Amino acid sequence: MTNTAEVSNRTSGQPDPDTDESAPNTTNSDRARLAIVEAEAAEMRDRWMRSEAEMANLRTRTKRELEDVRNYAVQKFAADVVEAAENLRRGLDSIPLAANSEAPVVTRLREGFLGVEKSFLALLERNGIVKENPVGAKFDPQRHEAMSEAVSNNHYPGTVLHALSSAWTLNGRLLRPAMVVVAKASETSPTDESQK
């Protein structure tokens, strides 16, 4: 009959220390195998961690790209709508100023167009399209396109004096830069030193 310790040693893969004469060599061999297995486990863990990090980055990038698509998919349409808003404003600017002697129909027509413009701009804002009036702001090449310069004794150089068209943004991203006239220095204009 076999001893229970011998059976358990055989099934566990460990040699019986009483019968195996190569026990010291087997222990070294087991240690070497254990070191190899631990190295492989560490390598697999490292690969797994890198894969997890890569997946997290992919999820973040995909989420950002989807948000961009959602926010800016209508960019071309928005640019066309902005052109219509600018044309409406040009039309309103071409109407003569109100006078006491004008016909009541002209007054109502002007007020009607102003109301249409106001509601149109509100509709655009509700959909993320915002008009920015740059007059009085410092010239920003990221948001403004300088059409000309004009000497001004009342403004610091680089100040936007007049806007030929407004800047428009879609959810914070520039759709169209403002076309502006910028103040330039003259001998009697204020300097940047006095602004500080």
Domains and CATH numbers, the chain: 4-70 (no CATH), 74-195 (2.30.22.10)
In SS3 terms, the chain reads as: CCCHHHHHHHHHCCCCCCCCCCHHHHHHHHHHHHHHHHHHHHHHHHHHHHHHHHHHHHHHHHHHHHHHHHHHCCHHHHHHHHHHHHHHHHHHHHCCCCCCCCCHHHHHHHHHHHHHHHHHHHHHHHCCEEEECCCCCECCCCCEEEEEEEECCCCCCCEEEEEEECEEEECCEEEECEEEEEEECCCCCCCHHHHC
Confidence of residue 196 (pLDDT cuts 50, 70, 90): very low
Calculate the average pLDDT of the chain. 83
Q: Which residue has the tokens 């300097």?
A: 191
Residue 123 identity (one-letter amino acid): L
Dist. CA 107–CA 97, nearest whole Å: 10
Q: Which residues contact 171 (CB under 8 A, 6 or more apart)?
A: 71, 72, 128
Does 4 have pLDDT greater than 80? no
Are the C-beta atoms of residues 15 and 22 closer than 8 Å to each other? yes
Give the β-pairing of 129-132 and 144-151: unpaired
The predicted model gives 169-193 an average pLDDT of 80
8-54 confidence digits (pLDDT tens): 455 555 555 555 554 455 688 889 999 999 999 999 999 999 999 99
Dist. CA 86–CA 63, nearest whole Å: 34
The predicted model gives 139-168 an average pLDDT of 91
pLDDT value of position 123: 95
Confidence of residue 105 (pLDDT cuts 50, 70, 90): confident
Does 57 have pLDDT greater than 60? yes
Cα(first)–Cα(last) distance of the chain, in Å? 102
Treating both helix axes as pointing N-terminal to C-terminal, what angle do 104-126 and 75-94 enclose, rounded to 10 degrees?
160
Instruction: Give the sheet arrangement for strand 167-170, strand by strand.
Output: 129-132, 167-170, 173-176
For the whole model, what pTM was predicted? 0.60
